[in-house]
């Protein structure tokens, strides 16, 4: 079917990194660039294009510059307070579209106080006041609830969680920082250039011992580092889709975030239709498939029958190996990881005298692992015998209470408990370090979303460090059955995988508050003592003087490193308290240095630098005029910041501490750049090695000309004692609204200015 074409082979994956034209979503009919350019068929044949076109409110109907309005919004309890507070400060009166407030992150008691419960009380009051949906704690993780109740074919959903992916149900879903949801709440558009669309062609049928995480890790390992999927839409097509159940597809789909793509969408079929009918939403189904001819910007061809059980070793989902490779050669692979991380992780200690790998903990949880299919598949292996090892722990977190009810009714819950597993309520804690935190130097295997450093809750800067690997629930169950010795599910006898699921929404009917269309404007928001307003933020000055207060040279810097997860989650509703944790695990001195610039405490140094600025511009204005025009702020440098979570606090905390700019060779995701812009932080791009170092000042006299688009580059002066250098700075291509946001100093300032105007 596929002709010989320039491609890259990666085990069971073939990458085509050039435009292709597909016939009926199955056959490449052209890959020659000249032929493509002369061909009349464009991207409008893709599923993606048609959904975007239906949601594009650009008055010129320009499909290259999209102005999107989403059908539904979704947030959980470490994001919705800040979003609603920001929207309220910007003029919110009622939720204009369904807004779903779930409570699956701050579900546990915070440091013995009422902080988390206060957030939940605030969320319920907001659902009443503005007309939203409130899902109480432990009832469902955000993505399970959205799949079961809201995703549908042709819809678009915007969520304030990076794993907002419902493509397997025909929904183009996007995870973004809170600022983008604020815009939707204020009936403002989400603006983006039309993304690339990459076909993910699935063929064959997975082996019975291969689960959705094995396929997801294969995909991530193939494309994360080459950038093929970055900020693109992954469009899943091909005959292999028919071989996968709906929940199997969901569990692959939610992991596409780790490829750094913008969103995902799948062909829909009778399996999709049956899933929606089962959940009482048959009207949400329609067939989605590419047109007779569809043009894609590349292809990822996955041979499902060739995939083997996989493992992503510390500290990234793209650090992928076939599990057999690790089992056959653990010493060399573990030694390489310890050398690459320049830290003693204790991995070598996990290899016993027989060359086997001892594991301390297994987790099957959340939007990726806590699905009906994954839990039942694990139970098929695990329940054939007890774990027989009281030093290995296994926790299972079903994704929703209806799912919990189903495994209770069909007897699986009792079997899991009898086998030694701990079955817990719907909670995302293991995914971000707020539940089942492993002990120091432990090795944990997880069917969860991420294995970033300290993501599981350890604190390496305090000498606490654990290692997490990602695996499918099948191989985790095989490991549990083998007494905690790392094992592959390959070759194990697995019972019938076609378990029947009956969805009962009684738990939701009993507890979920649905206020859509029933806003109560006079109802008062319920504030706890930890819920505070945003502090004032100054607008961009006519000139900008920045001090570099953190200089990070790691290849990639995650949002977990910019603002840690775990225990900091309890302070997401208190901007000032949360800011104290900024870069605490990567650069503990950052907060003090940023405050020194913000509060102007190093007066002698600052006076000397300002005198240099006056000298540089003495022929243009007086010192008094220059001083009144200069905005003084801090900035950080990182090679490639922003991988991972959508959390806007990675930007807002920096802003609260007086930050006004980031410098980077490259930004990891579109959503991180959006977060920076929404909080008035300028995303500068450095071509090559940075010409400055930590503690240098950077003076940019013509900053407003750059931000307004009057110039594409700007000259800056690098200032340090007895030195003055010159460099040229650029920023990404910005749309008009983004330029106004940066000039206003934040989304809040921008909207207040509109109200005042």
Tens-digit pLDDT profile for residues 565-580: 766 777 778 889 889 9
CATH topology for 8-65+195-306 is: Aconitase; Domain 2 (3.40.1060)
Q: Give the CATH number of domain 70-188.
A: 3.30.499.10
Q: CA 687 to CA 664: how far, in whole Å?
A: 9
Return d(Cα 668, Cα 644) in angstroms, integer.
8
Backbone angles phi, psi at 412, to 5 degrees: -65, -35
Are residues 206 and 373 in contact, defined by beta-carbon separation less than 8 angstroms? no
Of 282, 283, 224, 275, the C-alpha closest to 250 is 275
Q: Please determine whether the domains at 310-506 and 543-756 fall in the same fold group of CATH.
A: no
Give dist(CA 361, CA 422) in Å, integer.
11
Reported as half-sphere exposure (CB side, CA atoms, 13 A), residue 481 has a value of 21
CATH no. of 310-506: 3.30.499.10
DSSP annotation string for 273-296:
HHHHHHTT-GGG-------SEEEE
Specify burial of residue 545 (Cβ count, 10 A radius: 0-12, 13-18, 19+): buried
Q: Classify 121 in phi/psi space as left (phi over 0), alpha (psi -120 to 50) or beta.
A: alpha
Q: What is the pLDDT of residues 229-246, one digit of tens each?
A: 999 999 999 999 999 999
Q: Is the omega angle on the peptide bond into residue 674 within 30 degrees of 0, that is, cis?
A: no
What pLDDT does residue 235 have? 98
Residue pair 106/138 in contact (Cβ under 8 Å)? The answer is no
Q: Is the pLDDT of residue 203 over 60?
A: yes
Between strands 310-312 and 65-68, the pairing is unpaired
pLDDT-derived band at 101 (thresholds 50, 70, 90) equals very high
Mean pLDDT rounded to a whole number for the chain: 88
- How many distinct helices (H) and strands (E) make up the chain? 28, 33
Dist CA 648 CA 239 (whole Å): 39
Q: What pLDDT does residue 34 have?
A: 59
- Integer Cα distance of 177 and 367 in angstroms: 19
- The domains of the chain are located at 8-65+195-306, 70-188, 310-506, 543-756
Distance separating alpha carbons of residues 629 and 638, to the nearest angstrom: 28
CB 385 within 8 A of CB 353: no
Count CB-CB contacts under 10 A for residue 342: 6
> In the structure encoding, which two tokens stand for residue 507, read together?
């738990």
DSSP conformational letter for 461: G
Instruction: State the average pLDDT over residues 744-750.
Output: 91
Tokens linked to 729: 């700075």
Instruction: List, as one string, the DSSP characters of 141-192.
Output: -HHHHHHHHT--TT-EEEESSTT---GGGT-EEEE--HHHHHHHHTT--EEE
The arithmetic mean of pLDDT across residues 654-671, rounded, is: 92
Which residues fall within 8 angstroms of residue 59, CB to CB, at 6 or more apart? none
Q: Which two tokens stand for residue 129?
A: 């006041």
What would the pLDDT profile of 601-632 be if each residue is shown by its tens digit? 988 898 889 888 888 887 666 666 677 789 99
> How is residue 405 written in tokens?
């009810």
8 pLDDT band (50/70/90 cuts)?
very low
Has residue 493 got a pLDDT over 90?
no
**Residue that wins the pLDDT comparison between 413 and 498:** 413
**DSSP conformation letters of 347-369:** -GGGB-TTS-BB--EEEEEHHHH
Q: How far apart are CA 430 and CA 366, in angstroms?
A: 8
Position 757 scores a pLDDT of: 52
Q: Can you give the pLDDT at residue 1?
A: 32
The tens digit of pLDDT for each residue in 299-345 reads 999 999 999 999 999 888 888 999 999 999 999 888 888 887 767 78
Write down the pLDDT at residue 3: 33
Pull the structure tokens for residue 652. 């807002």
Could you tell me which residues come within 8 angstroms of residue 520 by beta carbon, excluding any fewer than 6 positions away?
Answer: 128, 129, 131
The domain 543-756 is classified under which CATH number: 3.20.19.10, 1.10.3470.10, 3.40.50.300, 3.30.1330.30? 3.20.19.10
């Amino acid at each position: 079917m596929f002709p010989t074409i320039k491609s890259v082979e990666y085990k069971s994956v073939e990458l085509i990194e050039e435009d292709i034209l597909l016939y009926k979503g199955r056959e490449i009919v052209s890959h020659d660039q000249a032929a493509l350019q002369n061909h009349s068929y464009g991207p409008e044949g893709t599923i993606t294009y048609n959904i975007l076109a239906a949601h594009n409110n650009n008055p010129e109907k320009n499909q290259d510059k999209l102005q999107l309005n989403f059908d539904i919004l979704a947030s959980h309890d470490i994001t919705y307070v800040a979003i609603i507070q920001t929207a309220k400060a910007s003029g919110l009166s009622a939720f204009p579209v369904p807004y779903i407030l779930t409570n699956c992150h701050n579900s546990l008691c915070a440091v013995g106080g009422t902080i988390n419960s206060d957030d939940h009380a605030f969320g319920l009051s907001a659902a009443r006041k503005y007309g939203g949906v409130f899902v109480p704690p432990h009832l469902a993780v955000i993505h399970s609830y959205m799949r079961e109740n809201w995703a549908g074919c042709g819809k678009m959903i915007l969520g304030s969680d990076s794993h907002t992916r419902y493509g397997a149900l025909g929904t183009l879903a996007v995870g973004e920082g809170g600022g983008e949801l604020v815009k939707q709440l204020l009936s403002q558009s989400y603006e983006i250039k039309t993304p690339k669309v990459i076909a993910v062609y699935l063929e064959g049928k997975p082996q019975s011992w291969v689960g959705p995480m094995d396929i997801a890790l294969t995909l991530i390992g193939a494309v994360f580092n080459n950038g093929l999927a970055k900020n693109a839409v992954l469009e899943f097509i091909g005959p292999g889709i028919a071989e996968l159940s709906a929940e199997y597809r969901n569990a692959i789909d939610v992991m596409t975030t780790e490829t750094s793509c913008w969103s995902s969408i799948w062909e829909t079929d009778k399996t999709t239709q049956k899933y929606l009918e089962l959940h009482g939403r048959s009207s949400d189904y329609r067939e989605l498939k590419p047109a007779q001819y569809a043009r894609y910007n590349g292809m990822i061809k996955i041979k499902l029958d060739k995939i083997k059980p996989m493992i992503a070793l510390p500290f990234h989902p793209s650090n992928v190996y076939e599990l057999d490779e690790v089992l056959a050669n653990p010493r060399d692979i573990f030694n390489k990881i310890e050398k690459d991380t320049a830290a003693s992780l204790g991995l070598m200690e996990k290899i016993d005298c027989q060359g086997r790998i001892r594991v301390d903990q297994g987790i099957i949880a959340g939007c990726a692992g806590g699905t009906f299919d994954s839990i039942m598949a694990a139970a098929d292996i695990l329940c054939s015998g007890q774990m027989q090892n009281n030093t290995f722990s296994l926790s299972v977190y079903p994704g929703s209470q209806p799912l919990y009810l189903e495994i209770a009714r069909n007897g699986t819950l009792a079997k899991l408990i009898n086998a030694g597993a701990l079955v817990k309520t719907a909670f995302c804690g293991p995914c971000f370090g707020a539940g089942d935190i492993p002990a120091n130097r432990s090795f944990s295997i997880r069917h969860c979303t991420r294995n970033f450093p300290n993501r599981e809750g350890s604190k390496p800067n305090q000498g606490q460090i654990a290692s997490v690997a990602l695996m499918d629930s099948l191989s985790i169950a095989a490991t549990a059955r083998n007494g905690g010795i790392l094992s592959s599910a390959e070759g194990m006898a697995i019972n019938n995988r076609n378990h029947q699921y009956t969805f009962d929404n009684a738990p939701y009917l009993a507890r979920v508050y649905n206020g859509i269309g029933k806003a109560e404007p006079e109802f008062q928001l319920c504030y706890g003592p930890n819920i505070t307003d945003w502090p004032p933020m100054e607008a961009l000055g006519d000139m900008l003087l920045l001090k570099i207060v953190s200089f990070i040279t790691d290849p990639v810097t995650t949002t977990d490193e910019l603002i840690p997860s775990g225990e900091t989650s309890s302070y997401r509703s208190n901007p000032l308290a949360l800011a104290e944790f900024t870069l605490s695990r990567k650069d503990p001195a950052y907060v003090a240095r940023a405050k020194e610039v913000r509060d102007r405490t190093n007066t002698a140094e600052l006076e000397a630098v300002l005198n240099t600025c006056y000298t540089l511009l003495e022929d243009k204005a007086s010192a008094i005029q220059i001083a009144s025009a200069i905005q003084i702020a801090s900035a950080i440098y990182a090679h490639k910041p922003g991988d991972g979570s959508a959390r806007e606090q990675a930007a807002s905390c920096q802003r609260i501490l007086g930050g006004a700019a980031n410098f980077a060779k490259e930004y990891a995701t579109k959503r991180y750049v959006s977060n920076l812009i929404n909080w008035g932080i300028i995303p500068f791009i450095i071509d090559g090695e940075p010409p400055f170092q930590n503690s240098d000042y950077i003076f940019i006299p013509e900053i407003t000309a750059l931000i307004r688009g009057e110039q594409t580059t700007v000259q800056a002066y690098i200032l340090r004692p007895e030195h003055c250098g010159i460099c040229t700075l650029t920023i990404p291509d910005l749309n008009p609204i983004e330029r106004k946001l940066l000039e206003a100093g934040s989304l809040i300032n921008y909207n207040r200015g509109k109200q005042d105007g």
